[in-house]
């Protein structure tokens, strides 16, 4: 069964989960012609190994703390912190605490 994405013009809440984060999972919110948006949930200690995307991305930390590595640079994102990466820039993530973030991926053709 395919996952249902939001439709044009529909309001979607991305407020922090708060205490309910323990049961939250990563979910795709939108996949359109040029844009994909994902509510990323990482529980404490969980990580995403180094990878890259064909398009530019942004990550907005909504809650918790996320260790974000690009090359030799390690940064910690907290609530309200935002980062942008160029296309194909390798990066890795690790949750220092239960965390959620809003991930946007540009799907525009090369």
Asked, for residue 75, whether it belongs to a domain, the answer is yes
CATH number at residue 41: 2.60.120.10
Reported as a single tens digit per residue, the pLDDT across 44-60 is 999 999 999 999 999 99
Question: What is the model's pTM?
Answer: 0.90
Q: Is residue 43 part of a domain?
A: yes
pLDDT of 7 > 90? The answer is: no
Residue 14: HSE in the Cβ half-sphere, 13 Å Cα cutoff: 26
Confidence of residue 69 (pLDDT cuts 50, 70, 90): very high
Q: Which residues constitute the domain of residue 98?
A: 18-106
> Per-residue pLDDT for 3 more than 70?
no
The answer to whether position 4 is within a domain reads no
Adjacent-strand bridge partners of 80: none
Identify whether the C-beta of residue 95 lies closer than 8 Å to the C-beta of residue 44: yes
Domain count, the chain: 1
Q: Tell me if 6 is assigned to some domain.
A: no
- Predicted local distance difference test score (pLDDT) of residue 109: 62
């Amino acid at each position: 069964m395919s996952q249902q994405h939001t439709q044009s013009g529909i309001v979607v809440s991305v407020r922090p989960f708060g205490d309910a984060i323990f049961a939250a999972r990563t979910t795709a919110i939108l996949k359109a012609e040029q844009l994909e948006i994902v509510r990323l949930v990482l529980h404490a200690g969980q990580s995403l190994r180094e990878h890259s995307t064909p398009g530019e991305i942004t990550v907005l930390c909504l809650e918790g703390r996320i260790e974000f590595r690009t090359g030799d640079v390690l940064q910690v994102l907290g609530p309200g912190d935002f980062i942008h990466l160029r296309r194909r820039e390798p990066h890795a993530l690790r949750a220092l605490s239960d965390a959620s973030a809003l991930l946007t991926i540009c799907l525009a053709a090369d």
